[in-house]
Structure 1
Amino acid sequence: MEEENELMQPTASYTEENIRHLSDMEHVRTRPGMYIGRLGDGSQAEDGIYVLMKEVIDNSIDEFKMGAGKRIDIQLEEGLRVSVRDYGRGIPLGSLVDAVSMLNTGGKYDTKAFKKSVGLNGVGAKAVNALSSRFVARSVRDGQMREAIFERGNLISDTTGPTQEENGTFIFFEPDNTLFLNYHFRPEFIETMLRNYTYLNTGLSIYYNGKRIVSRNGLEDLLNDNMTAPGLYPIVHLKGEDIEIAFTHTAQYGEEYYSFVNGQHTTQGGTHQSAFKEHLARTIKEFYGKNLEYQDIRNGLVAAIAINVIEPTFESQTKIKLGSLVMAPEKDSDGNPYPLSGISVNKFVGDFIKENVDNYLHKHPDVADVVLQKIQESEKERKAIAGVTKIARERAKKANLHNRKLRDCRIHLNDQKASKKDEENDPRLESSIFITEGDSASGSITKSRDVNTQAVFSLRGKPLNSFGLTKKVVYENEEFNLLQAALNIEDGLDGLRYNKVIVATDADVDGMHIRLLMITFFLQFFPDLIKKGHVYILQTPLFRVRNRKKGVYETIYCYSEEERLAAIEKLSPNPEITRFKGLGEISPDEFRNFIGKDMRLEQVSLRKTDAVGELLEFYMGKNTMERQNFIINNLVVEEDLIGNA
């Protein structure tokens, strides 16, 4: 009856007063997710402050692509403010204010001025302007300068005059800290972004806080800088008009791809990456004239592709997945036909690979021999575990109907986009899975999680140390097999179900060991999961410090000894201190504070300089005595600070 009464309640009035018109800048500030995706605080590479930075740099890159300016200067001040100076043609002075404040205004609509641009929608710099507490745009053209200063999208100063500066554009912005709460730029994310720009634009020099970043060998440099396992043969590096590819095989499991469109890193791939995978495997198979399986051909492959497309279509404003099906529209802005008009991305990529990779393998029989040997080794291993694999898949399929290890969520990374609202703040990017130890910890998380985007996978004690084992163990070990099935990564990351794979263990010795065992598993069999930034460690509080004031507890959760001492000082005198020994001890009501919007995650990173093979060999190998001696020689006994507090 109550439900009926609720349904019969009168709806809110809807009159002319409800109709609002927002200015361009107001609209961006009201719906920021529509323009830059998530906001965030800079702790993750996909956070909005890096999108702001990229939007500004993209414009300078487009100048370089048009042959105007070979240098870009970038300064980061105190991790909070960014300035970008290029030496291109400079924004036309009469249009400077409109170009940085009026949506759907820009030079990229004219294909004579910008042929193969990333910035296409007349949105980028305007979004940066609207979402910055202070934004400065200065353009220099032939001895004349115009400078416009904005605050939160509102123009507060506009000056012109003569100057001795070189031609080009200067942009300064400071993200609005009322939108990007407690934000801070992380230099490692910025350096990765800038290196990607240089790989795709040989001849360009980027000076980041005075440090020169340059690439002389394009995608070959990218692979050399990112591979954590040595190539089995020299990197095959091939260039054509509007396309560049590079690849090699390594001894690691899985596949690893880097793809770009017009200099934009398409982290979620798209039509060009799919075509690359398909045609590279097909060309290699046809070259040998053998009945080879694509999965054997691609196992251990590390590859990159970059293409230039006229007027590309991306799946969202953040441009991380190419949706274009053709290389160019029928005609340019003057009505002249494009040479690549109507040619599909798939055909363009396929034709290039078929001709050039086939020619390369014929000209380099030594490389062809190594490639075939690697494929045959992968085939041999696959066939050797075929029986185990079949049984494990059937077991996983049955378990997925009611997987006792998995408490799933409703939204997954590989879901189809539900609606246009997803572009504003794509909930699929929030999908995550917590890998926990034991039933008590998983129970606490399960009761306090967001059932829409957070799944829980429960481990039974310590998982197997997989270092040095073959992929057979992934299928023989029930836990590993069910985890692989839950993540949907058996055939690569294309079907990955969760954007964040979060290892959530106790902050004790056993918990640390489980973390190491899980990271070893991913490094051994799915290294690309870590390289693509999907694996995280959940930071849970070590202490709760609280004090009752006026009948109400003021509580501070502390993640380190330093935070505990600061909390004791703040809540003195005589605060109550609780030491959390395990996740299972934390009540679901409290756990909500740690896995919600304030969740602390530490991303697991993987770089070439990490010397992964040597590290795993030492820490996870069979050299028990060597490790024991290392521990004894480096053991430090500290006072029990908690007891003396």
Structure 2
Amino acid sequence: MPAPTAPRAPATAGAYAESSIRVLKGLEPVRQRPGMYTRTDHPLHIVQEVIDNAADEALAGFGRSLRLTLHADGSVSVEDDGRGIPHGLHPEENAPVLELVFTRLHAGGKFDKGQGGAYRFSGGLHGVGVSVTNALARRLEVCSQRDGQQARMVFADGAVLEPLQLRPLASGERRSGTTVRVWPDGRYFDSPVLPRPELLHLLRSKAVLLPGLSVTLHDEATGQSQHWQYQGGLRDYLLQSLGSEPLIPLFEGSGSADASHESFAEGEGADWAVAFSEDGALLRESYVNLIPTSAGGTHDSGLRDGLYQAVRGFIELHALLPKGVRLLPEDVFARASYVLSARVLDPQFQGQIKERLNSRDALRLVSAFVRPALELWLNQHVEHGRKLAELVIRAAQTRQRASLKVEKRKGSGVAVLPGKLTDCESRDLARNELFLVEGDSAGGSAKMGRDKECQAVLPLRGKVLNTWEVERERLFANNEIHDIAVAIGVDPHGVQDGSPGDKVLSGAGPSQAASAPSGGSAARTAGERGGSDVLSGLRYGKVCILADADVDGSHIQVLLLTLFLRHFPALIEAGHVYVARPPLYRVDVPARGKKPATKAYALDEGELEAILDKCAKDGVARARCSISRFKGLGEMNAEQLWDTTLNPDTRRLLPVRLGAFDAAATAERMTQLMGKGEAAARRALLERWGDAVAIDV
């Protein structure tokens, strides 16, 4: 895979001019930065983009077969019997549609999700997929059969090699469908070989999720073929894949919204199969519009919420819960295997490879269908319900015993906690979260809106001290820093015992320490003190920075990140520090027909435009939507803070890690940004990169 192209330095001072600005056109952005668009460890994802297009045809009801061939020359072809990609001239672009689909980013047939759209439910969203496949292929051939003609085009290195050729279909030929053959370019991937187990799983999952679809894999090198076709769908797949016998019969179901539904679009819903077992390996797979979501997302959270609410209700109804035992969602989910297939009209994924679903409404969508179905099933099969209740209660008792053991190991010599800290009830480190909240008013809303079982709140007054060049012994002179250290239960461990100007970044191990300049004292790193000892008193698994979504809030974020990086590096190394992302805008969408008024939140201008576009597609004019801009967290009430920044199922948390720089380069850059004697270096950075940043003032 070629190394990313570095910015070209000007030959001489003053050579930076209009001609220095380079505009990437066509598929150049993909070829320059392939990692932004696809996985680069192997080419399976660019092949999956073609497979997903074929599956979308079947999902729309126009295809019944999908065939993938591994050719002896290393190429891969995908063939379907769908409608075939249109190949006439585009009315506005004056170019063949077949060419636009494979050579233009954001050109596709899946933007319009209305009743008149070509695809109402699909995995394709952005018109990016197969154009990325073409960009990262040495050669790509596509044949589309429709309207009595076969259209053929050939591309090389993302550009047209053989222009559109049309011929009439013979009497014995397939009347409609698409065949795409691709030769992945090994320069863009760590390995040119498709991982066989992942490919088999992907193809089999398409047959599982689309009962009746015939899926075939043929390998020319060995001459062997494999075929999948499931009439029983999710149930058959889950039973075949489980390593042990389920404790109770499978809970399976399906639900879809009709045209009169108040909250969801017609056809939105989910299919699921859930098995509970006492031992053995678990199987957990989820999909959105046939796209595998290996990292889960809000639809998984909806299944978990529906299961938990139904099981808890059954246990309370039959008075089965022993005294002193408190149920949590993870107790119900601990021994659950499932396959979930959700249908979402306009899904929002995390990244182009779509490993995680972020759509907030998907949680309510799945839960709304799962919960009543399970409640009915449990009360119709009370004996099975009692067995499930026993399994769940045992999981809760095991969890609580483990929590008590952790509490005893902490001992009694703990510093007095800050008075303004509103602590949580749980002592389970894996679940506990501390939110460092900007301002007392926002802190008050956070205290009312939090989950008091596992979420603690520490309000901060004003801006924290810049600690990049502050010695460890002087840190506790600042009240805010003293309260943070005592609240999290970890002492500062990463600053030098020598001069404040020492540029050594101490980390959680030898690999994290940068070299000190001559004259500086040696760093006493967390690794030298023992990483486990440094964090032995840690009281929260997540330490979350929650500040306003404006410039001042960003400044407070930077100051807190500076504190953690310089004086608490083991927290970052172990993955305990996060940044919460509150929204900047709220959109009030008025009621339309039987659908009630709703609220949506946007992090920035881009998300705001996406929300307004979706409203327009749903028939709500932009002018009817009321847009409010939050001046700060203090303007949010407890319910809004919970929905947008505290609820684990709908919030957005960014984990803090070292980025493209190693520890030494990170320390050097932070010294430029936060050092007292680095004004000239900061000015140089601003002059070079200042125009590349959009500032919200």
State the TM bucket, normalised to the shorter chain.
0.5 to 0.7
Matched, 1:271 2:291: no
Question: Of 23, 28, 42, which aligns to 1:26?
Answer: 28
Q: Is it true that 1:345 corresponds to 2:362 in the alignment?
A: yes
1:236 aligned partner: 251
Amino acid at match of 1:368: G
Q: Give the counterpart of 2:184 among 163, 167, 175.
A: 175
Contact 1:62 1:118 in 2 (8 A): yes
The separation in 2 between residues aligned to 1:80 and 1:485, in whole angstroms, is 53
Q: Partner residue of 1:157?
A: 162
**Equivalent residue for 2:226?**
211
Q: CA deviation at 1:258?
A: 2.0
> Quick check: 1:137–1:147 contact (8 Å CA) kept in 2?
yes
What do the CA deviations read for 1:205-252 (whole angstroms, capped 9, x no partner)?
110113111222222234224333332122211112231122122223
Which whole-Å CA distance do the structure 2 matches of 1:366 and 1:55 have between them? 46
Unaligned runs of 5+ in 2: 1-10, 89-96, 219-224, 257-268, 416-432, 436-507, 515-525, 543-571, 576-697
1:197: which partner in 2?
206
Contact residue 140 and residue 155 of structure 2 kept, 8 A: yes
Q: Give the one of 327, 344, 352 matched to 1:293.
A: 327
Distance in 2 separating the partners of 1:25 and 1:266: 26
Task: Name stretches of at least 5 consecutive residues in structure 1 with no aligned partner.
Answer: 1-8, 43-48, 326-343, 399-413, 417-444, 461-477, 489-494, 499-645
Alignment of structure 1 residues 78-227 onto 2, 5 Å: 78=72, 80-94=74-88, 95-111=97-113, 112-158=117-163, 159-164=165-170, 165-166=173-174, 167-209=176-218, 210-227=225-242
Partner SS state of residue 188, structure 1? helix
Give yes or no for contact 2:152–2:166 (8 Å, CA) kept in 1: yes
Q: Distance in 2 between matches of 1:199 and 1:91?
A: 25
CA distance in 2, matches of 1:487, 1:148: 54
Distance 1:361 1:176, change over 3 A: same
Would you say 1:324 and 2:342 are equivalent positions? Answer: no
Give, in angstroms, the shift of residue 296 of structure 1.
Answer: 2.7
Q: Does 1:374 align with 2:391?
A: yes
Cα distance, 1:154 vs structure 2: 1.2
Aligned twin of 1:261: 288
Call closer, same or farther: CA 1:12–1:261 in 2, change over 3 Å. Answer: farther
Larger mean CA deviation between 186-195 and 248-257 belongs to 248-257
Any conservation in 2 of the 1:132–1:173 contact (CA below 8 Å)?
yes
Distance 1:497 1:193 in 2: 33
Matched, 1:50 2:44: yes
Paired residue total: 392
Question: What is the identity, as a one-letter code, of the residue corresponding to 1:138?
Answer: C
Counterpart-to-counterpart distance in 2, 1:188 and 1:486: 38
Inter-CA distance 497–110: structure 2 relative to 1 (3 Å threshold): farther
Aligned residues of 2:243 and 2:281 also touching (Cα < 8 A): no
Q: What corresponds to 2:687 in structure 1?
A: none
Establish whether residue 387 from structure 1 lines up as the match of residue 421 from structure 2: no
- The residue identity in structure 1 corresponding to 2:251 is V
Structure 1 pair 447/11, CA: closer, same or farther in 2 (3 Å)?
A: farther
Contact 1:254 1:300 in 2 (8 A): no
The aligned residue for residue 380 of structure 2 is 363
Deviation at 1:349, TM superposition (A): 1.9
Distance 2:129 2:402 in 1: 51
Compute the displacement of 1:255 (Å): 7.3
Q: How far apart, in 2, do the equivalents of 1:78 and 1:143 lie? A: 31
Partner of 1:245: 272
CA distance, structure 2, for counterparts of residue 100 and residue 68 of structure 1: 21
- Code of the aligned partner of 1:87: D
How does 1:572-611 map onto structure 2 within 5 Å? none
Kindly state the Cα deviation for residue 138 of structure 1 after the two structures are TM-superposed: 0.8
Deviation at 1:143, TM superposition (A): 2.8
Match of 2:452 in 1: none
- Deviation digits for residues 564-590 of structure 1, max 9, x if unmatched? xxxxxxxxxxxxxxxxxxxxxxxxxxx
Deviation digits for residues 318-343 of structure 1 (CA, Å, limit 9, x no counterpart): 11111222xxxxxxxxxxxxxxxxxx
Deviation at 1:13, TM superposition (A): 3.3
CA RMSD of aligned residues (A): 3.8
Residues of 2 paired with 1:218 and 1:450: CA distance?
Answer: 53
Going from structure 1 to structure 2, the CA distance change for 1:369 and 1:136 (only over 3 Å counts) comes to same
Q: Is the 8 A contact 1:487 1:497 kept in 2?
A: no
Whether the 8 Å CA contact 2:244–2:280 is kept in 1: the answer is no
Task: Tell which deviates more after alignment, 111-120 or 293-302.
Answer: 293-302
Deviation per residue, 1:262-307 (Å, 9 max, x gap):
1111111122111221221121101221555123322212223221
Is the alpha carbon distance of 1:346 and 1:105 closer, same or farther for their aligned partners in structure 2, counting shifts above 3 Å? same
Alpha carbons of structure 1 residues 137 and 457: separation in structure 2 relative to 1, 3 Å: farther
Provide the C-alpha distance between the structure 2 equivalents of 1:361 and 1:457, rounded to a whole number of angstroms: 52
CA deviations on 1:120-175 (whole Å, 9 max, x unpaired) are 10110101001000111110113311111111101111222122331100001111
Q: Compared with structure 1, are the counterparts of its residues 259 and 487 closer, same or farther at alpha carbon in structure 2 (3 Å cutoff)?
A: farther
Question: TM-score, structure 1 length as denominator?
Answer: 0.55
Distance 1:196 1:91 in 2: 24
From the superposition, tell whether residues 236 and 20 of structure 1 become closer, same or farther in structure 2 (CA, over 3 Å): same
Amino acid of the structure 1 residue aligned with 2:388: V
Could you tell me whether the CA contact under 8 Å between 2:185 and 2:192 is conserved in 1? no
d(CA) in 2 for partners of 1:360 and 1:215? 25
Quote the sequence identity (%).
27
Is the 1:85–1:170 Cα contact (8 Å) retained in structure 2?
yes
Cα distance between partner residues in 2 of 1:457 and 1:147: 61
Which residue of 2 is the match for residue 428 of structure 1? none
Code of the residue aligned with 1:140 in structure 2: it is Q
Q: Which residue of 1 aligns with 2:40?
A: 39
Larger mean CA deviation between 110-119 and 10-19 belongs to: 10-19
Deviation for aligned residue 1:486 = 12
Q: Report the Cα distance in structure 1 between the residues aligned to 2:66 and 2:58, rounded to whole angstroms.
A: 9
Distance change (3 Å), C-alpha of 1:216 and 1:394? farther
Structure 2 partner of 1:506: none
1:377–1:196 Cα change, 3 Å: same
Q: In structure 1, what is the equivalent of residue 475 of structure 2?
A: none
SS in 2 for 1:90: coil
Separation in structure 1 between the aligned mates of residue 303 and residue 25 of structure 2, nearest angstrom = 43
The CA distance in 2 between the partners of 1:376 and 1:188, in whole Å, is 37
Residues 217-226 or 316-325, more deviating: 217-226
Q: Are residues 394 and 106 of structure 1, via their aligned partners in 2, closer, same or farther at CA, if it must alter by over 3 Å? A: farther
